[in-house]
Structure 1
């Protein structure tokens, strides 16, 4: 199971969390990646942990002040990017253009969506993975796999119908190893979480609890 930790804009130490993740990855042969703020990407990548951007803009080189050119996080050491998180929603056209930008920069992609119907639409654009995240459960500590497991099952089915090569991740409320196991049993290939690690007093212990 792939575990992607989104640090959002939480007041945490991204390097401390990245170092903890790198240690857990090595000690337990886990598959963990960290998505920090753009300004922290290089510092996080320098720890050796797989590093993702939280977003890349649907732009090419040019006059785009304030945008995140896909090549910038790639040059800083990122290997993938989130797109269309519930806190940074985009139109399908913008997602498609951001996917093109990520592909141009050699970044892997995960497109987030709220429900199976949106997951199907996102899958049709050809990302590497999609993540189903009902926004009402984000940050609650109640995992979607527990609150409404049919959303995860239906998302997996929707992806299989559109493009079975696309991985499906489960997000929103994931915080324990039990949540990860439940997501896997429902057919997910990975999980996307944030506060369960970013707000933890002991990030290493929180990460170990996810993979044990």
Structure 2
């Protein structure tokens, strides 16, 4: 299972969280990655933890003020990127463009989507993975794997029907090791979470609890 922690724009110490994630990953053998703000990519990558961008723009080098260039994210140490998170939605053509941009920079991709139908459409664009995240559950502490497990199993089936090589992650409300196991049991190959770690009083303890059933 892959555990990707999105720090969003929460007021946490990204380096401290990254150091904790790197230690937990090394100690348990579980793949753990951190997605910080773009300005913190280099600092987080310097900890040795697997580092992901929260977004890359569907642009090439040129006149694109305010964009997040995929090559710049890669130069800063990112090895992958989220695309189309529910808090940063893109048009379908721009999702496709961002995947192309990430491919140019050799970044692994996870395209987020709200439901199984969108998962199928996202999988057709050729990302490495997709993540199903019902927006109404994000940040609630109620995981989709418990609130509506059919969404996860249907998303796995929808992606497989389009391209069996596309992995499916489960997001929204993930906060405990039990949530991770439930997602795995439903066919997900990883989880995407944020506040359960980024807003925790003790991020290392939160990470240890998340991966303990997997170690």
| Common topology (TM > 0.5) | yes
Please, which runs of 5 or more residues in structure 2 have no aligned partner? none
Deviations 1:123-145 (A, max 9, x none): 00000000000000000000000
- Give secondary structure in 1 for the equivalent of 2:192: strand
The answer to whether the aligner puts 1:192 opposite 2:192 as a matched pair is yes
**C-alpha distance in 2, partners of 1:165/1:207?**
28
Per the TM alignment, residue 30 of structure 1 is displaced from its structure 2 partner at its CA by 1.1
Residue pairs, 1:1-212, within 5 angstroms:
1-212=1-212
**C-alpha distance in 1, partners of 2:105/2:27?**
31
Runs of 4+ in 1 over 3 A off after TM superposition: none
* TM-score between both structures, scaled by the size of structure 2: 0.98
- Give secondary structure in 2 for the equivalent of 1:15: helix
- Give secondary structure in 1 for the equivalent of 2:16: helix
* TM-score between both structures, scaled by the size of structure 1: 1.00
Per the TM alignment, residue 105 of structure 1 is displaced from its structure 2 partner at its CA by 0.5
**C-alpha distance in 1, partners of 2:159/2:118?**
10
**C-alpha distance in 1, partners of 2:69/2:183?**
33
Deviations 1:95-119 (A, max 9, x none): 0000000000010000000000000
Q: Once superposed, what is the RMSD of the aligned Cα atoms? A: 0.3
Per the TM alignment, residue 7 of structure 1 is displaced from its structure 2 partner at its CA by 0.1
